[in-house]
Amino acid sequence: MNATFQSPESGDISVASNELTSLSVLIAAPRGFCAGVERAIEIVERALDRFGAPVYVRHEIVHNKYVVENLRAKGAIFVEELDEVPDDVPVVFSAHGVPKSVPVEAERRKMLYLDATCPLVSKVHRQAERQIEKDRHIIFVGHAGQPEVIGTMGQVEPGQMSLVETVEDVADLHFSEEDNLALLTQTTLSVDDTADIIAVLKRRFPNIAGPKAEDICYATSNRQSAVKQIAPQCDLVLVIGASNSSNSLRLAEVAERLGTKAHLIQRGRDIDPVWLEGVETLGLTAGASAPEELVIEVIDQLSQWRKVEEKTVTAAVENIIFKLPRQLTD
């Protein structure tokens, strides 16, 4: 049989063979949607059912084009700011959270708004408020420009929170051991990187106050743990997720730090078959905003080129469910 592969980067590649060669695919579990993402999507869908189209959504509800396009087809309209939303239609705030000024503006305009902020992100927002009430300056570990970081830093007044992205950034902080400081983190960070940064912060500021539990969410931690289990056994790891998805980027980084090459893809058609040359075992996972349909699509795409033998590797079992806003349940 002659098979012709269309490579996105390299053009046509002709391979002559009598049969497809085997490819072992280790599928990470858990993977894909977390409870916060499921809740956010359900909020938009229920709002469309209850109020009818259009329902406006401030920013992407989650970082996944497939999800956004599906909701758009149902009548959701995605905008960047509230001034693009008419006063008489519902608006949903994304799962990443928003600065305090956004709901304040919505209330001033007497808008019907639904807050789809992940409850674990909202928990960090409340922690920030409590630390400010205790007159502490907050050191926030996160990635500049991420919607979650913008939303969390927007819970306090300018100058009350300092952002740290790396261990090196800690040296640039102009505080003393005697200063009243608190520590918070973004929920979708690398578990290992964050532990390193926190260790340095605590060495430099022994009295810094931190949350009782880790701010990094259960889903981020579990997905990284699953990748750590499969990556050492793989020649390549594919991570389904968007390039602006923090938790998806971290999954690829976890694999590469274990010495396994990784590619971030949005869906099956993004795979370059050249990547599979010399690959006998492939790892597959999906970021918290990627639906299971895309995992199936990737498997189907791989099956066009290789004889796929699937095996699921489970690192944790998730059964968390978050409540919906009262406006949608009353």
Residues serving a catalytic function are 148
The token pair at 120 is: 């674990």
Q: At CA 75, angle to CA 146 and CA 51, rounded to 5?
A: 100
Q: Strand 11-16 and strand 2-7: pairing? A: antiparallel
3-state secondary structure of 64: coil
The token pair at 324 is: 């919906």
Sign of the torsion angle spanned by Cα atoms 194, 197, 200, 204: negative
DSSP characters over 220-289: HHHHHHHHHHHGGG-SEEEEES-TT-HHHHHHHHHHHHTT-EEEEESSGGG--GGGGTT-SEEEEEE-TT
Spatial separation of the C-alpha atoms in residues 201 and 329, rounded to whole Å: 43
The token pair at 241 is: 């997720």
DSSP code of 83? G
Task: Provide the CA 151 distance to its chain's centre, in angstroms.
Answer: 15
Within 13 A of 68's CA, how many CA atoms are on the CB side?
Answer: 19
Spatial separation of the C-alpha atoms in residues 127 and 205, rounded to whole Å: 19
Angle of helix 191-204 relative to helix 218-230, nearest 10 degrees, comes to 120
Phi and psi at residue 294, in whole multiples of 5°? -75, -30
